[in-house]
Amino acid sequence: MQKEYDVIILGGGLAGLTLSMQLKRSNPEISILVLEKRSSTADEATHKVGESTVELGTHYIREVLDLKNYLDAEQLPKHGLRFFFTPEHKDDIARRVELGPRKLLPIPSHQLDRGTFENELISRTKKLGTEVLLGAKVTNVVIDENAKHTVDFEHNKQTIQTESRWVVDATGRSSFLKRKFNLAKTVDHPANAAWFRVKGEIDIDNWSENKEWSTYVEPGLRRLSTIHLMDKGYWVWFIPLSSGNTSVGIVADPKHHAFETFNKFDRAMDWLKANEPNAFACLDKKREDVLDFKIMKHYSHSSEKLYSTERWAITGESGVFLDPFYSPGTDFIALNNTFISDLILRDKLGEDINLRTNVFERTHFALFNNWVPIYKDMYGLWGKTQSMVVKIFWDWATYWGVPTLLFTNEGYTNIGVLRSLFSKEGSTGQKFGLLNTQMQKVLLEWDEHDDATFTDQYIDPFDIQYLKDFHKGIDDKFSARELVKKVEDNVGLLEEIASELFRLMSHKIYGTSMNIKVDPYTMSLKNKPKEVENGVLASDSIKSDVNTMWYY
């Protein structure tokens, strides 16, 4: 071990290990020490969540870290996120409205066995020259803005002190620096989770005898999706793992389902019996095969600060976490690590990083704050079929059309792009945030009017042309100028989509015309809407797409 390093990373989980690889791949000269308190390699099906990846995080691990060959060979391909609504028919999965892709997806994502994946990351980052010390528990950090920082840790019953120019906290829920600097910030989204792993595969194709239903999806693909079984206030996940095991989780808002009703294994089974009888029937036969059980109360949390000009930073769950509904944990790690790598690498070259530190922090929190309305107070809608089809398609359009596209085109570390999109009052980035908040408000207002039961339907996101285009567009490469223009165009399309959805809802509630112009930034269903002079209409293709997802 050296006496000092360029970077010491506290915690060798997903965030810390991927950061070390990202840094080493960009500059092999940089010296890094990862201190991980776990004393041995992780077990298969280790006791961790963060198994299902989506497009932004997948791009990070496949392309930025160049792990695509490993992922294709050793981990499972994922067949998108899949949702089952129609709680009125919970005892017959084939009658529930199902949303998910039918055919193999052009843009990949994965189901990760976190234990085997973290072991692989340790071996790869060591090969790149990172020192990883297992059984090393960090006990103290002293930040010195003018000189080297000192880090104390316990290893083999000894206390060791070492120094570094940078310290990055990747200690997950232990949140080492956040606690030390008193930076913890609560997020007013009090949902809770419980999860466990069972030995063996679970294929929900076997939950129904209905032959026609099993043909909706290409053979073998349904099982590879992240399954969401939904009703008011909760969702239940099923995730297949490469070890041949299956991860199962319950996530619920305490306004609708008290945590005490599922926070122990037997209680969770009773809860499943009452709420998801198909899932219960399958798991009840596997009680002997349960490998673990874990809970997390009020999992959402935030931080006052993530990146400091005093050369420390926070990444992964140690910093912020919002909600696992769309599997975005790895996305936040990708974004965090990309900002932190940029700062460390530029600092190593002697660049002044003050401006970048502030811009990155503002950008990260702007994105986090834009995503809060997607989940906060929304779990009440989880049992509504029409609302959820519209919401999920809306949330995906915003996710693929703006943040994912910016990430795959390296827009988040391009100060020119960030300035053009976010800095001015009324900028495209600000409009994007306002538009999303307004759409989520409208969905809440629409809730009481969404009163029909829909059954026996299948909807594929790729039946919707604009979603297909947004999704495929993730891989398109743009210059900085083109990227800004593309994001502006996508926000323009989102305005049209929002306006058309609003017209359909308003027509159903108030009988208003399907031709009224709408201001998507102020639209509201509280009172009968009036035409807005310079409002937005939708093109014929958007109208046709929106009609495809509208069941009334």
Using CB under 6 A, list all residues that contact ligand FAD.
10-16, 35-38, 48-53, 57, 137-138, 170-172, 174, 176, 193, 249, 296, 299, 316-318, 324, 327, 329-330, 333
Closer Cβ to ligand FAD, 167 or 283, answer by number: 167
CB contact at 8 A, 249 and 273:
no
Could you tell me which residues come within 8 angstroms of residue 308 by beta carbon, excluding any fewer than 6 positions away? 357
Could you tell me which residues come within 8 angstroms of residue 212 by beta carbon, excluding any fewer than 6 positions away? none
Closer Cβ to ligand FAD, 109 or 490, answer by number: 109
Name the nearest CA neighbour of 24 among 16, 68, 314, 70: 16
Q: Which helix H or strand E contains 18, and what residues bound it?
A: helix 14-26
Name the nearest CA neighbour of 49 among 221, 251, 255: 251
Closer Cβ to ligand FAD, 119 or 275, answer by number: 119
CB contact at 8 A, 263 and 250:
no
- Least distance from ligand FAD to the Cβ atom of residue 323, Å: 8
User: Judging by beta carbons within 10 Å of its beta carbon (0-12, 13-18, 19+), is residue 458 exposed, middle or buried?
Assistant: middle
Closer Cβ to ligand FAD, 50 or 529, answer by number: 50
- Least distance from ligand FAD to the Cβ atom of residue 161, Å: 14
- Least distance from ligand FAD to the Cβ atom of residue 249, Å: 6
- Least distance from ligand FAD to the Cβ atom of residue 336, Å: 9
- Least distance from ligand FAD to the Cβ atom of residue 486, Å: 26
Q: What's the rounded Cα separation, in Å, for the pair 19 and 25?
A: 10
Closer Cβ to ligand FAD, 146 or 156, answer by number: 156
Main-chain dihedrals φ then ψ at residue 225, nearest 5 degrees: -80, 160
Closer Cβ to ligand FAD, 16 or 101, answer by number: 16
Closer Cβ to ligand FAD, 324 or 461, answer by number: 324
To the nearest 10°, the Cα dihedral for 34, 35, 41, 43? -100
Closer Cβ to ligand FAD, 169 or 342, answer by number: 169
- Least distance from ligand FAD to the Cβ atom of residue 170, Å: 5
Q: What's the rounded Cα separation, in Å, for the pair 134 and 122?
A: 10
Beta bridge partners of 138: 153
Nearest position to ligand FAD, beta carbon: 13
- Least distance from ligand FAD to the Cβ atom of residue 187, Å: 12
Q: What's the rounded Cα separation, in Å, for the pair 303 and 325?
A: 21
Q: What's the rounded Cα separation, in Å, for the pair 237 and 225?
A: 10
Structure tokens at 396: 């995906």
- Least distance from ligand FAD to the Cβ atom of residue 240, Å: 12
- Least distance from ligand FAD to the Cβ atom of residue 15, Å: 3
DSSP 41: P
Q: What's the rounded Cα separation, in Å, for the pair 260 and 87?
A: 22
Could you tell me whether strands 294-296 and 192-198 are parallel, antiparallel, or unpaired per DSSP bridges?
antiparallel
Closer Cβ to ligand FAD, 58 or 386, answer by number: 58
- Residue 113 C-alpha from the chain's centroid: 17
Q: Which helix H or strand E contains 395, and what residues bound it?
A: helix 385-399
- Residue 275 C-alpha from the chain's centroid: 25
- Least distance from ligand FAD to the Cβ atom of residue 179, Å: 10
Closer Cβ to ligand FAD, 400 or 422, answer by number: 400
